[in-house]
Chain A
Amino acid sequence: MLNNKKRVFWEALLLTLLIFLIGMLIGVLSENSRMRSVEEYYIQSEISLIDILTLSNLANLDDANCDNLINSNINFANRIYDEAKLLEKYEQAGKINENIKIEHKKYDVMRTLLWINTMRFSEVCKNNKVHIIVYLYESNTKDLTKKATNTVWSKIINDLKERQGNEIILIPIAVDSDLISLNSVLENFNISSYPALIIDDKYVLEELSSVEEIEEFF
C-alpha cells in the first residue's frame, strides 16, 4: 500500500518530464524552423548585396548605372528592412535557441556594408536625390527610457518611410553588435548617446524628433 502511494509521485514526475520534454522539443523545432527561414532570407539578401557591390565597383559609373545602383540600393534596403522586422519578432518569441542573435549580427554587418556603399555612390552619383537615413540603436539595452525611445524612433522612421516611399533609404543598425567596421564608421560622427538618427551622413539627431522635423533636413 505504501509502495503504491510512493509510486504515484514517481509516475507524476515521469509524466511531467515527458510533457516538459515534448514541449521543449516543440519549442526547439519551432525556433529552428524560424531560424531556417531567416537564414534563407539572409542568403537571398547576401546575393543581392554582392550584386550591388559589384555594380558599385564598376570603374565608370555613368548616369544610367547610377540610376540602377540607386534603385537597387533602395529595393535592397526596403527588403532587409522588412526582413529585420520579421527577425525582431522571431527574436522576441525565441526563448530557447540563442542562435537567432547571430542572424541579427549578420544583418547588422550587411546593413553596415550597405551604409558604406551608399556613402560611396552619394559621392560618385552627383544627381542622387535619395536621402539616406541611418537609425542607430542599442538592441540589448535594459534601460527602460532607451527601450521606450527605441520603440518611438521605430514608429517615427516607419511613418517617415511610408510618407517618403522610395525617396529615402532607411538603414537601422544595432550599435551593440560589436562590429569593427561599424565602430570605425561611427568614429566620424560625434555621437554621445543612442538611439540616434544620421541624415544624409551630415546631420545627427540624438533627441526624439517628429517626422516633420526630420523632413526639414531634406
Chain B
Amino acid sequence: MDFITIVFLVYSVLAFYFLFLYILIYFQNRKKVFYTPPITKKYSLSIVVPCYNEEKTIEKVIKNLLKAKYDNLKKIILVDDCSTDNSYKIMKKYAKKYPNKIIAVQTPKNTGKASGAKNYGAKFVNTELIGFTDADSYPQRDAINYMIGFFDDKKIGAVTANVLVQNRDKFILKLQSLEYKVIKFTRKLLEFIDSIYVTPGPLAIYRKSAFDNVKGFDEKNLAEDIEITWHLQYEGYKIKMAVPSRVYSVAPSTIKDWVKQRNRWNIGGLQCVNKYKKVFGKKGTLGNFIVPLFISQWIIGLFGLFILGYKIIRTIILKYLSVSYSVQTQTTILNMKDINFTVSVLVFFGLVVFLLSSFYTIFILLNVKEKQYKKENFFTLIFYMIFYLLAYPIILLISFIKYLKGDIKW
C-alpha cells in the first residue's frame, strides 16, 4: 500500500469518525436540540454594542434591541471606538431619546479591535448578566428570552445564539448562509459533550461574575470570542447554545473581506491553541477535545493541502507533457480507452464520506427553517460541498504564514 493510499484511508477514517460522532450525538439528544429552559427568574441584563464605523447598520441594531421582548434588559451600552463616520452621532441621538435605557460612550482612543471596545463597555455594566452584540448584527425580538433560562444552572458561564446571515443577495453570501447553518447546528451538538468552543460576537450573554472572573476579553487575541469561551471552560464554566435564539449578522460580501475574516478567525484560533496548549490531554473537554480538535484541524488541513497540491501539480505536469508529446508525434491526445472506469476501494470510501456529509448537510438545512428566506438551491449546495469547503485549507495556510510572520492585526 503506498503512502498516498494510507493518507487517504486515514483521512477517510477521521471523516467517518466525526460524522458518526455528530450523528450519534444528534440521535441521543434529538429531543433537546431545540429546547430552551423557560424563564423562572428574570436576571438583570445589559447589552454592550461595540462599534467602529458602522453608521449604515448601527441604527437598525439599536432599534432591534429596543424592541427586545425581554423586559429586564436594563441598559444598552453603545461603545464607539473613535469612529470616523457618523456612528457616534447616531448613538448619542438614541442615548438622548432613551436616557434611562441607552448609554453612548466613546473609548478614550481607538483600540483597534472589538475586544477593546467590549471591555471598555463592560465597565459600565452592573447587572447579573452581560450580553454583547455586534454593530452589524440584528437579534430577533425574542432572541434574548430563549437564552435566559439556561442561567438557572449556576455552572453556566455563557449562552450563545444561532447566528444566521442577514444579507443573501450575492452568491458568496448564499454560501456563507449555508455554512453558518451547518456550523451552528454542529455547535449545538457539541454542547451535549460540553465542547462549545466559541461564543460568537453577533450575540452572546455571559454571567457577569464569570465574565469578571476571566477578566473579560483578551485584547491580544484576534478572535476574542473563541478565547473567552476557552477561558470560561478552563475555569470550569459550561457553555450553552439556544438554537431558537436567532441573530442575523451581516456577512462579508466580497472574497477579499471573506478571506480577511477567515484569516482573523484562524489566527485567533492559533493564538488560543498557543495560550491553552498547557491543558492538552488534561482539564476536561477543553484539554481532551477542544484543543486537540483545533490542533488536528490545522494538521489535517495543512497536510491534506500539501498532499492534494502535490498530486494536482504532478497530474498537471504529466498531462501537459503527454499532450505536448502527443502533438509532436501527431497522436490522439485523448482516447476513450485511456479512461479507466475500474474503481478502487478509495473511490468507495470517498463516495461514502461524500454521501454521508451531504445527508448531514441536507438534514441540517431541512431542520433550520426560516420563513422569510427561500431554501438553498441544489447548485449552491453542490458548490458548497465541493468547492467552498476546499478553500478552507488554503485559507489555513495563508493564516499560518501570517501567524508565523507575526502579522497579527484586525
Contacts and interface: CB of A to CB of B under 8 A. Distances in A.
A80 to B, nearest CB: 17
A27 B20 contact: no
Contact of A12 (B20, B317, B332): B20
Interface in A132-172: 144-145, 147-149, 151-152, 155-156, 158-159
A58 interface: no
B340 to A, nearest CB: 5
Interface in A93-115: 93-96, 98
A155 B342 CA distance: 19
Centre residue among A4, A12, A94 by max chain B CB count within 10 A: A12
Nearest to B289: A9
Majority SS at the chain B contact face: helix
Contacts of B345: 23-24, 26-28, 30-31, 95-96
A95 B325 contact: no
Nearest to B330: A210
Contacts of A16: 13, 16-17, 20
Given A155-B331, A155-B332, A144 B321 contact: yes
Interface stretch (B160-168, B295-303, B346-354, B399-407): B346-354
Contacts of B390: none
**How big is the B interface, by class?**
35 or more
A89 B345 CA distance: 14
Contacts of B337: 85, 158
Given A8-B24, A20-B12, A24-B345, A152 B329 contact: yes
Interface in B1-44: 1-2, 5, 9, 12-13, 16-18, 20-21, 24-25, 28
A151 B1 contact: no
Nearest to B21: A12
Contacts of B329: 152, 156, 208-210
A92 B317 contact: no
Nearest to A208: B329
**How big is the A interface, by class?**
35 or more
A123 interface: no
B100 interface: no
Contacts of A4: 28
Centre residue among A28, A95, A144, A151 by max chain B CB count within 10 A: A95
Nearest to A17: B13
A8 B5 contact: no
Nearest to A142: B314
A95 B322 contact: no
Given A16-B17, A23-B345, A144-B318, A95 B1 contact: yes
Nearest to A26: B348
11 contacts: A4-B28, A8-B28, A16-B13, A19-B20, A89-B340, A90-B342, A92-B342, A95-B346, A144-B318, A147-B318, A152-B325
Can you list the 7 inter-chain pairs with the closest CB atoms, starting with the nearest? Answer: A27-B345, A148-B321, A12-B21, A93-B342, A93-B344, A152-B325, A12-B20
